[in-house]
Structure 1
Amino acid sequence: MHLAIDSEPLFDVPLDHLGERLAELLLDLDGTARGIFLALVHGSGEPQILDRLRETHEKVLIAPLRDRLRGPDADLRARLAASMSGGLLYGLWVARDEGLLRTDRKELITRYGALLQEVLTPRA
């Protein structure tokens, strides 16, 4: 099984637009990614699957973000944004939150992107 968010799209935007770009990438994930995500989440009680879930979380979400960020807290900011990203996928794909599913795509990108941006932006 393979799930990937291509890191290239994360490098082609200024840091102050990274949150919206990440939200857009998450909403653009295809059915294959959804199936893998759901299989990993549903099987996370099994040690081998949990290990795979952790590995996927690190490689697919955290590493590409950390590579894009700078500063002493880049790892923490990447981990927070990755966790928030997983939360969005959980809401859409696992809980099937009707309110989120009904929300206009552009609105979701703007609002969730702003939340992601808050944790991606270094504190002054």
Structure 2
Amino acid sequence: MINFLIRAVIFLASAFVGLVAADLILDGFSLHWNDWWGILVAVVIFAVLQSVLAPWLLKVARRHAHALIGGIGIVSTFVALLIAVLIPAAGIGIDGPVAWIIGTFIVWLVTALATWLLPPLFIKKKVDARRDG
């Protein structure tokens, strides 16, 4: 149960970092900073959708389109962003095709790096805590 919670926190943190990175780097990709609740909703919606869509799209691609398997992360990121933008309560906006394409890539890249780099930090702390305790 603890591992599940740690992974969920890591996934939410990586989603937040990815969305913030796209907001800072790219014109046309914006988080509505005056509405912290909306940003929280956007992060949770994006993270949940990403965690559900990626395995599902991978399964579909394995059955019907093997050539798409390498791009599942990008596709699931795009679909998760699209749905998050369409939800009125989410504090995210993406304007223009360039922002959609580059924003999807930035969010995908940063979340992938964060989900790869953050677990060792948390797991190391957990192992150290068990050794000390």
Give the TM interval when normalised to the shorter protein: 0.3 to 0.5
When normalised by structure 2's length, the TM-score is: 0.33
Higher strand proportion: 2
When normalised by structure 1's length, the TM-score is: 0.35
Higher helix proportion: 2
Q: Answer with 1 or 2: which has the greater Rg.
A: 2
